[in-house]
Amino acid sequence: MGVAFQIRNLNVYYGQHQVLYDVNMDIRERAVTAIIGPSGCGKSTLLRCLNRMHDLQPGVRITGEVRFKGKNIYDDDVDPMEIRYRIGMVFQKPNPFPKSIFENVAFGPRINGYRGNLNELVERCLRQAALWDEVKDRLHKSALSLSGGQQQRLCLARALAVEPEVILMDEPASALDPISTAKLEDLILELKSRYTIVLVTHNMQQAGRVADETAFFLNGRLIEMGPTRQMFANPREKKTEEYLTGRFG
Amino acid sequence: MTGEWQRRRRARQRLDRIFAAVFLLAIALSLLTLAVLFWDVVRDGARWLRWEFLTGYPSRIPERAGILVPLVGSLWVIGLTALLALPLGVAAAIYLEFYAGDSWLSRLIEANIANLAGVPSIVYGLLGLAVFVRGLHLGRSVLAAALTMTLLVLPVIIVATREALRAVPLSLIHGAYALGATRWQVIRTVVLPTAAGSIMTGVILAISRALGETAPLITVGAWAFITYLPRHPLDGFSVLPIQIFNWAARPKPAFQQLAAAGIIVLLAVLLSLNAVAIWLRNKYQKKAEW
Ligand SMILES: Nc1ncnc2c1ncn2[C@@H]1O[C@H](COP(=O)(O)OP(=O)(O)OP(=O)(O)O)[C@@H](O)[C@H]1O
Ligand SMILES: [Mg+2]
């Protein structure tokens, strides 16, 4: 299988404060990669490096390379809009637009000049996100009338609608109940045949259930990365073992 | 231990009640003053509020005097001001919020806009006289007045619009960027619709302030005795507050009462503007949540 991202010597600073140190890792295409680690270790920061979300925030400095399909996305001739269009993102907190359910999903296609049948596209994406049956009778009602779990799936449908190559998810299940979480995990497993998925999670079981590969971060450094099963069964690093077994200082 | 704690709690609750009473008194006082003033005006002016008064032209005989010319003049001036100040102010606020960045120049501009909002209106009047009436040869016209008023309300509109823009949740803005939207697309499809209600409210409140302004309009020439309705932006004009002042300054009691009637008309226009502002805000809020 191919490689989607090659991250090379990546350092990230918020002002003077360095939060990622010399990260080197490869992220496989059409697979689920989980990023785990204690709070504040830089997981979200890493994720935002992958679709240039840091551009939107003044005071963030990035050195090193993030190669996507061989091309460094921080090169001068790369258009960040196109990167974000090809690399979708689902945020930790559901953030549907204060528009109708339909308009939320149609948003991406519209701004990117989609010419096809919007109704079909919206239905397809809502089905993919396992939300269609719950909302098909109220597509033109406000997205804010949905429950948190439904909103999160709507945000996933919205991300799918621009047909990205990668979906970045930052703790997408952190606000969800066990049933919605299970639905979301099924969804991730289903989507990975067509998408590269990078998933930040605090939930070890979740990483164990859905991730092909797992990367463990500690204090801004990549400690260990490998196939999930292998890493969970016998981690190479002592710190990984301590974290996985919950014996963490 | 518990006793001490309980006693403190009672003291705090008493303080709470005292403050509630103080605030209630403050609002009661201001409402009462307003009511008395209003009652006084209505008692003097209500008698004159007839159809002939609303549609009448100026006259030296109180029974024949009407308010149509300054009423239409006021509507012309604020209408034109709104037309000029709304796009300009909103565009400037968008520029400052989303495009200007954080250079020393943009900080200088920001500080100056805040200062401009505090400049006395007569200064704008003198500026308008020098630049628009004389410099651009617009004469003592509706257009010159509207341009002057635009300068006057622009800082207020810019400040209010920026507040409204900043209130748009960052999570929505990032959500739109994450779908590949350009900066302008984010502004047009997410920021402006979400902020529209507050922007409109700010703009209308700024404009209704312009409706009551007198000093700058006197300097740009609204003082003249005008007996015809303005038909295009270069016509002469008069406005409500100046007409009211004019009547109030005459010794005859009948004119004093005409002034009161004029105040009622001015208040009616002001209140309708504010009602429109509230209606717009509710409408956009509903739409935003819909
Ligand atoms: N905008 C910012 N400005 C300054 N420092 C920041 C900013 N965002 C994050 N940080 C810091 O960078 C470090 C990494 O933050 P990050 O959000 O990537 O952690 P995380 O691993 O996602 O944590 P969590 O699991 O709690 O979400 C933290 O120390 C945080 O305080
Ligand atoms: Mg995080």
What digits encode the pLDDT tens for the residues B72-96? 888 888 999 999 999 999 999 999 9
Place of tokens 């960040």: A80
Summarised one tens digit per residue, pLDDT across range A22-33 is 999 999 999 999
How do beta strands A166-170 and A87-90 pair?
Answer: parallel
**Residue pointed to by tokens 């490869």:** A26
Highest mean pLDDT among A101-105, B141-145, B236-240, B265-269: A101-105
Q: Are A222 and A58 in contact (CB under 8 A)?
A: no
Domain boundaries, chain B: 2-47, 53-289
Are B172 and A107 an interchain contact pair (Cβ–Cβ within 8 Å)?
Answer: no
CB A216 within 8 A of CB A36: yes
Instruction: State the nearest Cα–Cα gap between A52 and chain B, in angstroms.
Output: 9
pTM of the model: 0.83
Q: Indicate the top mutation candidate among A18, A23, A41 to test ligand 1's pocket, ranked by most ligand atoms within 8 A of CB.
A: A41
**Rounded to an integer, what is the distance from CA B152 to the centroid of its chain?**
10
> What is the third-level CATH fold of B53-289?
MetI-like fold (1.10.3720)
CA–CA gap between residue A84 and residue A111 (Å, rounded): 13
Percent share of chain B, pLDDT over 90: 30
CA distances from B63 to A64, A179, B133, B246, B268 (A): 85, 79, 35, 16, 22
Cα Dmax for chain A: 55
Nearest by CB to residue A142, choosing from B178, B179, B289, is B289
Nearest protein CA to atom 2 of ligand 1, as residue = A14
pLDDT of residue B286: 63
CA distance linking residue B75 with residue B80, whole number of Å = 8
ipTM of the complex: 0.91
Q: How much is the pLDDT for A44? A: 93
Which amino acid type is present at position B87? P
Confidence (pLDDT) at B290: 42
Q: What's the Cα-to-Cα distance from B206 to each of B124, B162, B203, rounded to whole Å?
A: 15, 14, 5
Contacts of A57 (CB under 8 A, 6+ apart): none
Mean pLDDT in residue range A172-189: 85
Q: How confident is the model at residue B224 (pLDDT cuts 50, 70, 90)?
A: low
**Atom of ligand 1 minimally distant from the CA of A59:** 3
What 8-state DSSP symbol labels residue B81? H
| Angle in degrees, 0-180, between the axes of helices B2-45 and B253-289, rounded to the nearest 10 | 130
What pLDDT score was predicted for residue B147?
A: 92
| Stretch 179-208 of chain B: residues touching chain A, C-beta under 8 Å | 179-182, 185, 189-190, 193-194
Distance set, CA B32 to CA A118, A189, B24, B37 (Å): 59, 68, 12, 9
Task: Identify the three-state secondary structure at position A7.
Answer: strand
Mean of all residue pLDDT scores within chain A: 91
- Ordered domains of chain A (ranges, CATH): 3-96+165-244 (3.40.50.300)
CA of A45 to the centre of ligand 1 (A): 6
Mean pLDDT across chain B, nearest whole number? 86
Contacts of B290 in chain A (CB under 8 A): 98-100, 141-142
Task: Give me the helix-helix angle, B68-94 and B142-166, nearest 10°.
Answer: 40
What pLDDT shows up at residue B287?
A: 58
> Nearest ligand to the C-alpha of residue A19?
1
